Structure 1
Amino acid sequence: MRILDSHLHLWDPARLTYDWLEGPLQARFAEAEVAQARRADDEHSAIFVQAGAAPEQFLLEAQWVASIAEATGVRGIVAGVPLDAGEATERDLDAVRQIPLVVGVRHLLQDEPAGLARTDAFLDGARALAARDLTFDACVRTVDQLHDVAALAAAVPDLRIVLDHLGKPAVGTAGAPEAPTAEWVAALRALAAHGRVFCKLSGLPAEAGGDWSPAQVAPFLDEALTAFGSERLMLGSDWPVSAVAASGSSEGGGAGVDADAIGGWTDAVATWAAARGIDVDAVMRANAERFYGLA
């Protein structure tokens, strides 16, 4: 199977500073580790998404990933740039554009207050992003933030936006699954009404704490399909964040990282897509190529 993984993280704590890392994730995940995590019978390439290095290291992070892109199969880089910093945002966007393979930016919204993406400062940064033909990865945690991204899409219609991890809905666990809430479904559909917004089928294993099943996540994938249609969905592994096994702990105990997390999630999404009668190759590869301008 040809796979363009639209959401891959790489990091090396010996090279850059990642204050958020803990437990099994507090280790190096780079060339050798991702090679071991991929199944040999699949053809893999990936989009690297900024991994939360210290803010002042955003250029160093993108430059490091560009330097190992061939070894890791990275075809595109989504750099970390704050979009609400005025002239500094414009300078930073110009700087990252000089780095090979940079195709987009992520200002991590999930830990920001609701409403940030509606502010004048953020909208100015989003317009600067669109003017440079760079994409925006929207990673949010709440329904309010989903509505903020919909407002952003309306205010900056030229900006190509992709929703990370389906907006991080509460999914429960394999043994105690939760159903999609009406509030999340309504917010997802409101966002999908903007035709330049795509959605990543990614991150749900992490939302389940590593204890997930294909049957548990299928209702959420179905809602994404209803909202966005098959032509605006793309596979993302969220490796290694979504590879932390259910028995792993934030203190570093337990089983740690699932060695077949990429293959397991890829199989689940491909099987789901085939069962729904949609174009599996589009979801696994072609839609991400088109969104990130790699086709």
Structure 2
Amino acid sequence: MSSQGTNHPAPAVRLDAHQHFWRYQAQDYPWIDERHAALRRDFLPADLKPLLDQHGIAGCVAVQARHSLDETDFLLGLAGQYPWISGVVGWLDLRGADLERSLARYLQRDSAPGKLVGIRHQIQDESSPSLFMQDPVFARGLRLVQARGLTYDLLIRDADLHAAADLCKRHDEHHVILDHLGKPDLAREDPIAWADRLAPLAALPHVSCKLSGLITEADWQQWRPVELLPYLYLALELFGPQRLMFGSDWPVCQLAGSYSEVHHLLETAISELSADEQAAIRGGTAIRLYGLQGNCP
């Protein structure tokens, strides 16, 4: 019997485009304060993999959570050990005099080849994020990162969206990915006002956005999907599915809800989209923008 006509396209790969691993030491993670006590322990691949499997997610992108080359090395070590860690967004000192040498060393390393796919600095934690984004030394570093074909993950709060748009206008040589929808201030600003300030960023074709980190910007004990879905719908309107990607922000998300709750929120938001649009958000956008084609399980 002929097999002609029985072939089916391979199912689209699903990825979690934003999560963290760490071996917890209090001095290394000062942002994990008493309010974040549930995060004061190790979070490692063995903790995450069952959650990915439960939701049909094939792999993840591990993102830095402290300003340290040791953590970049640690995450790349995990990515070399676990093939389903498809990429690492690490940290390098973009203002360091030896940045070019550091970039070359990481991109040419034999272990976990091709797994360093992006760079991030926790700009939100700077004393003046807007001024930091105007620093010419930082600008030089960001240009080097983009010239080497690495994405830049942009971590800011919504008060700095205007400055972020100006930064991205000046740096359009490669992809910039806005983390956590720019961290809208859910307690003080309605979705429309937030969307108005996000729009200049969304208008830049090289800027994309992660549908992540929203439940921890809400009331951790009392948030409801109906309060958060408007932000996801507006992000869909502004960026379109081809510039949006799902990220759990695990384990940080566990401060406000379970992995399943985060996943269900995303699935609710995209339920009316076409199959291709859903596939983009679930993994296709991350694979394309981070260059993960050869890294996926």
The TM-score normalised by the length of structure 2 is: 0.83
Q: Please list, as runs of the form range in 1=range in 2, the aligned pairs for 1:39-188 lying within 5 A after superposition.
A: 39-40=53-54, 42-52=56-66, 55-70=68-83, 73-85=84-96, 87-99=97-109, 100=112, 101-112=115-126, 113=128, 114-143=130-159, 145-172=160-187, 179-180=190-191, 182=193, 184-188=194-198
What is the CA deviation profile of residues 139-177 of structure 1, one whole-angstrom value per residue up to 9, with x for unaligned ones? 10133x2222212221121121000000000224xxxx9
Task: State whether residues 110 and 141 of structure 1, in contact with CA within 8 Å, keep that contact through their aligned partners in structure 2.
Answer: yes
What is the rounded CA distance, in whole Å, between the counterparts of 2:102 and 2:161 in structure 1? 26
Aligned partner (choices 9, 14, 20) of residue 31 of structure 2: 20
Q: Which amino acid aligns with 1:161?
A: V
SS of corresponding position for 1:28 = coil
What's 2:200 paired with? Answer: 190
What's 1:7 paired with? Answer: 18
* Offset, 1:19: 3.0
Runs of 4+ with deviation above 4 angstroms: none
Structure 1, unaligned stretches of length 5 or more?
A: 246-257
Aligned partner (choices 218, 227, 236) of residue 238 of structure 2: 227
More off after superposition, 56-65 vs 227-236: 56-65
Task: State whether residues 183 and 217 of structure 2, in contact with CA within 8 Å, keep that contact through their aligned partners in structure 1.
Answer: yes
Task: State whether residues 158 and 185 of structure 2, in contact with CA within 8 Å, keep that contact through their aligned partners in structure 1.
Answer: no
SS of corresponding position for 2:94 = coil
Q: Which amino acid aligns with 2:125?
A: D
1:292 and 2:276 are equivalent in the alignment: no
Aligned partner (choices 269, 272, 278) of residue 272 of structure 1: 269
SS of corresponding position for 1:122 = helix
Q: Indicate how the Cα distance of structure 1 residues 3 and 263 shifts in structure 2: closer, same or farther if over 3 A, else same.
A: farther
Percent identity, aligned pairs only?
33
Q: Indicate how the Cα distance of structure 1 residues 93 and 62 shifts in structure 2: closer, same or farther if over 3 A, else same.
A: farther
What is the CA deviation profile of residues 115-156 of structure 1, one whole-angstrom value per residue up to 9, with x for unaligned ones? 21222111111110011000000010133x222221222112
What is the CA deviation profile of residues 54-102 of structure 1, one whole-angstrom value per residue up to 9, with x for unaligned ones? 53524433333334433xx2100000123223x2322332233235200
Structure showing greater radius of gyration is 2
Task: State whether residues 76 and 116 of structure 2, in contact with CA within 8 Å, keep that contact through their aligned partners in structure 1.
Answer: no
1:214 and 2:263 are equivalent in the alignment: no
Q: Which amino acid aligns with 1:82?
A: D
Task: State whether residues 16 and 61 of structure 1, in contact with CA within 8 Å, keep that contact through their aligned partners in structure 2.
Answer: no
What is the rounded CA distance, in whole Å, between the counterparts of 2:226 and 2:219 in structure 1? 16
Q: Indicate how the Cα distance of structure 1 residues 292 and 89 shifts in structure 2: closer, same or farther if over 3 A, else same.
A: same
More off after superposition, 270-279 vs 111-120: 270-279
Q: Indicate how the Cα distance of structure 1 residues 195 and 132 shifts in structure 2: closer, same or farther if over 3 A, else same.
A: same
What's 1:254 paired with? Answer: none
What is the CA deviation profile of residues 214-272 of structure 1, one whole-angstrom value per residue up to 9, with x for unaligned ones? 21111111221121112111000000001114xxxxxxxxxxxx5xx222212221221
Q: Which amino acid aligns with 2:164?
A: V
What is the rounded CA distance, in whole Å, between the counterparts of 1:141 and 1:219 in structure 2? 18
What's 1:205 paired with? Answer: 215
Task: State whether residues 270 and 284 of structure 1, in contact with CA within 8 Å, keep that contact through their aligned partners in structure 2.
Answer: no
Q: CA RMSD in A?
A: 2.3
Task: State whether residues 31 and 68 of structure 1, in contact with CA within 8 Å, keep that contact through their aligned partners in structure 2.
Answer: no
Q: Which amino acid aligns with 2:286?
A: A
Task: State whether residues 47 and 77 of structure 1, in contact with CA within 8 Å, keep that contact through their aligned partners in structure 2.
Answer: yes
* Offset, 1:111: 1.2
Q: Which amino acid aligns with 1:151?
A: D
Task: State whether residues 181 and 209 of structure 2, in contact with CA within 8 Å, keep that contact through their aligned partners in structure 1.
Answer: yes
Q: Which amino acid aligns with 1:269?
A: L
* Offset, 1:195: 0.2
Structure 2, unaligned stretches of length 5 or more?
A: 1-11
Task: State whether residues 13 and 284 of structure 2, in contact with CA within 8 Å, keep that contact through their aligned partners in structure 1.
Answer: no
